[in-house]
Amino acid sequence: MAPRILLARHGQTEWSLCGKHTGRTDIPLLDEGRRGAKLLGERLHRAPWTGLPEAEVCTSPLSRAKETCELAGFGDRAREWDALLEWDYGAYEGLTPGEIKASRPGWLIWRDGVPEGEAREAVAARADVVVEWARSADRDVLVFAHGHILRTLGARWLGYDISFASRIRLDPTSLSILGWAYGEPAIERWNDTGHLG
């Protein structure tokens, strides 16, 4: 079996609901986010995944990702990993894209980065470490993390620059799968929220 990586974005929070950049601020899940995490877990414990018994599981140490992992039924198997932390948005933490563009017209995080925060190259390098780990053995991996780091993982899995992540949006409590097609890295499933009904 060629290794795949299953990506679970954390459930809805107050800041994700209103579009605020939520990097290292530890915002808790809303009730809607907790409900979505349980539904995601129910889905992953049914066929064809049946609980992913052979998969390695990792989670961001931030509570919104850890709680999503726990509510989905994988907390007892999960290892916390700083490589899965969300982008450090620096001076843009807690701001919406609209608020940022009011003073910086045309701004795009994937191209322009953030002041006083983590460089685009550093985020890509963290994603590369996760990709290398995911491909390191004959087993699937499941990660619980955040929108921008997971989008970066998608871009880097495919071999693209971090800027490609601007083209692959990701909703809260979504499921995505990165795998292979004809021996090349491929997207098997992306931003799937079918479990939310």
Which candidate in 56, 67, 70, 86 is catalytic? 86
The alpha carbon of residue 122 and the mean position of all alpha carbons in its chain are separated, in whole angstroms, by 16
Q: What are phi and psi of 149, to 5 degrees?
A: -70, -35
The alpha carbon of residue 190 and the mean position of all alpha carbons in its chain are separated, in whole angstroms, by 11
Question: Quick check: is 86 catalytic?
Answer: yes
Question: Quick check: is 195 catalytic?
Answer: no
| Dist CA 121 CA 155 (whole Å) | 13
Backbone angle region of 52, left / alpha / beta, with phi > 0 → left and psi within -120 to 50 → alpha:
left
Backbone angle region of 61, left / alpha / beta, with phi > 0 → left and psi within -120 to 50 → alpha:
alpha
Contact indicator for 80, 89 with CB cutoff of 8 Å: no
User: Which residue's structure tokens are 């107050």?
Assistant: 14
Copy the structure tokens of residue 113: 């980065």
Which candidate in 10, 21, 146, 148 is catalytic? 10
Q: Would you name the residues annotated as active-site residues?
A: 10, 86
